[in-house]
Chain A
């Protein structure tokens, strides 16, 4: 049998009249089996878990009758008990399945079968899809809770604290439960001022409010904090909404690092706006670095060095990941007037010259720490946010010790591979997770190695479209075929892959294209890509095991992003790269590695 394909002109706007078959694809009987076929007709580039393009899902024949009955049953909203179950189901389902189903599904049993079929179905090895590698689950947020997740802190094996932009802190119990009805939200604190940092030490939960670093605890064990101690508030706030403050986890010495946004997006009108401060275990504040514009997150790499993301704007050609080197100047001189308050960083550095390039100014200003990784504007994202290091020991896929960085506008998580060259951090960024529900802000790994991602789009639009979300990304166990690392060599790059490459395509220089560009380092807002070059690929060598490719190019450009496309490279098993692009920021060329 064959039903109608979707008829757009015929689509009416009352839900009741929309036939699920029409909305979602076509069914037909597979001649060779007892299974009923469903072919998705979505025209989308599907990267999240759930339906895949032209994917065939098999539904046992005995359910056929039920599908015929759908019209008799009417719309599920008429059946509250079913609706309730559907809600329940939706919460453990990947987003795509939810979007397709939660408002349109017509029968519980059918849905469950379908989902099972979908999740367990055999995948096409040639079409790289995010859902092949990473499943996205959405945690059910109770009605009335506005979970604009500003920060996350794991408390126990199955318990995570989530702070919100509206100043609440929720403890989510059974956060890893398969059954969403087991997930429980308890409000631990409220009335705080936009909490964008959480950390835990002993019984204390540390939280970063705009006005201060606070620690709190629950003395009477009623699940709510009742003591709120000010740990440090040695900086100014004017009342401008832009004066955000983000904090890190504890570093090796037990310090918490704080990055303070400028006043507005251009100026520093009160003490230490545009600075990084760290607060010692005994509550003292140490000015640590200057030159910050508008941070979106702060985190540490595997070595414990601290990084933050800074957003495109004045003195920032595009968003970037920057290394908070103590004593360093991160590039935006708007807050450098506060050198007058402290000797901790030595004398005020020279002001950069507007209209120059960062690597040219860095050669003149010893304190200037060049941006470790640029996120090319529009290509990678538009608002870089939270930072987390994958130290799951392989539970989250083949990217151990790499940094994951959010992008709020694009609702994505990017991947960053760093190296130190001549003492300065640099490295590559890659597209990674996409299509999260809201604008990615906070991230934290759960004890089971899954990634929790919090999002918001309030005040700054985000592709995800949901005002807020808390999602969990789980690795399926399948390795994506990806560029794993990209490292600078004196005459090119060495690239490693997560899977052996097909040597024929990988040794063909035509499988690669490379161009470079940089940004104007200037006092006005942002920058276009400038100083473009197109280096020549001189040679390509593939290692014996097929996991390493050495590219010699003529020539590297210091201070530039090297945008490498690997459009022609196939894996040994003839798969395409999931993301055939990398953006390497070259601050310096290694001298001695051949």
Chain B
């Protein structure tokens, strides 16, 4: 049956009394034999003083006055229960001064409240595994909502049955500071060596984000209370790098980038990670730590001195954007060299939120931002106009506190007298030297002693534990047979006891026990959408793990944590080698692997066949499994090259023959169904030999010898003698893109969502490798050079006054466009067909060899069932468009356009805040019109 002891669900096979003796650290005071101490592997109290986490005096005082009041785990006894309240208050005061003296003063600058970091912290808290033990603050699907849950949102126990047991953190707001909590989270084992709170290998940013989230109550202004968040000088910035093989997990980078459009190109999102963040007083690229593949965002407020129209400028290489409020005022986006763009906005005097995003993909980098306004020449925005929401986060209830040395020395005496040092290490040799506390040795404890810790009415001076009757009885039962505690536990029970004490069962199932509670399952997710089902999100079942994993690997995982499942959001933390001593061995003994029937002989010759079997054309394991530095062709299932480090060969052989017998519900198919190989090419289908060969290969394999079919080079699609079409996801041309490569080495991509040619480029057409390998995920960019982008949005619009009408934004189906397909001419060049309202358009592009590069002639034919007038086509958009003497138009000093139209009206150059546009009249005559457009670039 299951007992609940101190909140632990204790399964059959674990003595609850023994567990309690360990968790309450009874032998810290009641001296016991080494054998008993070893068996109990007791939980130590947190380290105090210099070596610990700095606590606030208000927290310490409150805790000591009433250890149960803060909702802490009930392992801290009340030692002052029988003192008169005045006297108790004086002792607590002395102890508080002593502890404050011992730990030293808080000297750091309080962290500035940052809602974004808190949101990131919230995600990490709910997704990396914290809520496997601690109580979640909201449902998983609410994590998308940007508003944070108020600090005191959930009543403990509200949904206990589905939730299962939670380790209560108590009220943290008053306990410590953001930086101290972050320090604790970075390495909990340093200050709580017993490993109940394990080490998650958090980065600095992750630890700070979680700390800021957990202490969000220290920034009350965030939660709709009377006080506003205070502003501080300077802008916040975040600096990111992309193009790295591994990105930060958990979507918070992604969330962040979504919040700052224009910062990281979409195609680079998955490979982006944070490098640094902080406060800056100027907007420039000076904060970058390398030249290429970088992004910066700045956010905060700009204080405008007077009402009026202001012009903002960004000058950048590559793209930048500037937002005031929610308006995109300067759009200088895209891959380009140093380019200045500007935008105007009317502003009232006062603070306006400001956001600047910037990235540099490759090549030189640069960013400057300027402002110009009433009585204000163009200049960088003055530093003292910047501010950000930055309320300092100070522990709740903080006031002046000065250590009183006299009280501190009294406190030191009490610390010793009360025996605090039995559980709490403190880096103060003299404190533990005061030998004033003595308890009965463990062996002499009398079960029913009046007035002892376990009696129903402890006497003055005895520690008072908040135990239930069942807990007390459990301890008494165990004490009655305490002799047995001098012998080590039998391995399977030892494994189960350690798993209970360390709460491994919160994540892992072993036998009938454990695994995430029904309510908590929602928090176990994957990093990105990896399409791996529950195997991708739940930590592995540990039934039979002693047979599965090699002891060395088990120890490595237990001591150092694990990262062989990079797709799993929940992390396997490390618990400290000393704390799980013997667990690996206990697994191995308990699961009793049969004598190995497989030979661990590794054959180089066999490995060659193994390579073939693992590769494409064999069993194609790499369709799903990654292989060293190589990604798989499909989902990122576990790295095959780690198999020989981790797995016992016997298990490997059994698993390959029948995966679902060892991992029920696995999506791993059996390639040897009923022991019979599906591959007859290798070793005539001899199952054992094939598996031996795979094992040999995996033992010998390295990055230099990946399986057949894994490395796929570029597969350039070449237009040979005639045009060639490539319909797929093309970066810059949308999800319904139609790429056309011409033998003249000019290329285009048509966007059939918006009915426009989106891009032109020269040289090689496109690389087909991405979409022809694995699952073909993602957008493929053009392969060649000299890429130009043509205007985004709808191609046609009506206006009686085109020079003063904003071009409409609505495009595609919503604006009345329908794609109708294409015809191929004798050289396989497509003539695109689409409809706009009652008008049919044929859009035919011909590449023409030029002196250096080829260029395009575009023939547009219009047939309309309605007589449209004032119809315009937007041919170009840019920062500058000028008509040259020969009548040609030059766009952004780069693209030269020439038109011949069936009508007599001339193209118009329109100029407004956002830049310039070249508008060409579509003049219907008897329902027909023609335009020839020549584009040279």
| A interface residues with partner B (beta carbon < 8 Å) | 6, 8, 11, 13, 23-24, 42-45, 96, 99-100, 103, 146, 165-167, 190-194, 209, 211-212, 214, 220, 225-230, 233-234, 237-242, 264-266, 312-313, 377-378, 382, 409-411, 435, 457-467, 524-526, 528
Contact = CB atoms under 8 A, between A and B. Distances in A.
Which of A6, A194, A226 has the largest count of B CB atoms less than 10 A from its CB? Answer: A226
Given A13-B605, A239-B779, A458-B773, A8 B686 contact: yes
B875 interface: no
B821 A466 contact: no
A529 B664 CA distance: 10
Given A167-B727, A209-B727, A458-B775, 12 more contacts: A99-B681, A191-B739, A227-B824, A228-B821, A229-B820, A265-B531, A378-B670, A461-B634, A463-B669, A465-B671, A525-B533, A528-B665
Contacts of B669: 382, 409-410, 461-463
Nearest to B661: A378
A467 B617 CA distance: 6
B776 interface: yes
Nearest to A438: B620
Contacts of B813: 234
Contact of A226 (B537, B679, B823): B823
B464 interface: no
Interface stretch (B254-262, B272-280, B728-736, B796-804): B728-736
A459 B779 contact: no
Nearest to A522: B521
A382 B677 CA distance: 18
B822 interface: yes
Contacts of A524: 521, 534
B531 A435 contact: no
A282 B560 CA distance: 65
> 3 nearest interchain CB pairs?
A191-B725, A459-B775, A461-B623
A24 B684 contact: yes
A364 B811 CA distance: 42
Nearest to A354: B522
A227 B832 CA distance: 10
Interface string B668-705: 01110110111111011111010000000000000000
B533 A43 contact: no
A226 B683 CA distance: 49
Contact of B619 (A8, A378, A461, A528): A461
B517 to A, nearest CB: 13
B727 A461 contact: no
B776 A241 contact: yes
Contact of B684 (A42, A45, A220): A42
B819 A460 contact: no
Contacts of A463: 619, 669-671, 673, 678
Contact of B678 (A6, A191, A266, A411): A411
A102 to B, nearest CB: 9
Nearest to B534: A525
B348 interface: no
Contacts of B726: 167, 191
A103 B709 CA distance: 20
A381 B797 CA distance: 54
Interface in B742-794: 752, 768, 771-779
B720 to A, nearest CB: 12
Contacts of A457: 620, 623
B660 A228 contact: no
Contacts of B621: 461
B490 interface: no
Interface residues of B, number: 74
17 contacts: A8-B683, A167-B728, A191-B727, A191-B739, A192-B727, A211-B736, A220-B826, A234-B813, A239-B735, A377-B665, A382-B669, A410-B669, A435-B678, A460-B634, A461-B634, A526-B665, A528-B664
B440 to A, nearest CB: 52
Contact of B728 (A23, A193, A409, A464): A193
Contacts of A96: 680
A382 B533 CA distance: 13
Interface of B: 521, 529, 531, 533-534, 537, 605, 608-609, 616-621, 623-624, 633-634, 660, 664-665, 667, 669-671, 673-674, 676-681, 683-687, 689, 709, 724-729, 734-736, 738-739, 752, 768, 771-779, 813, 818-826, 828
A211 B685 CA distance: 42
Contact of B819 (A233, A240, A528): A233
A590 B716 CA distance: 60
B634 A212 contact: no
A460 B623 contact: yes
B534 A526 contact: yes
Nearest to A410: B669
Contacts of A42: 680, 684-685
A206 to B, nearest CB: 12
Which of B521, B674, B726 has the largest count of A CB atoms less than 10 A from its CB? Answer: B726
A378 B660 contact: yes
Nearest to B723: A191
A506 B481 CA distance: 62
Contacts of A458: 623, 633, 772-776
B773 to A, nearest CB: 7
B715 to A, nearest CB: 10
A230 B819 contact: yes
B735 A227 contact: no
A44 B689 CA distance: 13
Nearest to A409: B669
B823 A228 contact: yes
Contacts of A165: 776
Given A209-B727, A227-B824, A241-B776, A459 B686 contact: no
A258 B621 CA distance: 32
Contact of B824 (A211, A226, A233, A313): A226
Contact of A227 (B533, B616, B736, B821): B821
Given A44-B685, A233-B736, A382 B727 contact: no
Contacts of B729: 239
A54 B828 CA distance: 57
A211 B725 CA distance: 15
A337 B725 CA distance: 35
Given A211-B752, A239-B729, A461-B621, A382 B667 contact: yes
A44 B677 contact: yes
Contacts of A465: 617-620, 671, 678-679
B620 A241 contact: no
Contacts of A410: 669, 673
A409 B623 CA distance: 11
B534 A237 contact: no
A233 B667 CA distance: 34
Given A100-B680, A228-B821, A528-B664, A466 B617 contact: yes
B633 A459 contact: yes
Contacts of A230: 818-821
Contacts of A233: 736, 752, 819
Contacts of B665: 377, 526, 528
Contacts of B773: 458
A314 to B, nearest CB: 9
B724 A265 contact: no
A225 B823 CA distance: 9
A264 B533 CA distance: 12
Contacts of A100: 680, 684
B821 A13 contact: no
Contacts of B825: 226
Nearest to A51: B680
Nearest to A6: B684
B678 A464 contact: yes
A236 B472 CA distance: 64
A237 B735 contact: yes
Contact of B776 (A459, A462, A467): A459
A103 B686 contact: no
A42 B771 CA distance: 39
A99 B681 CA distance: 6
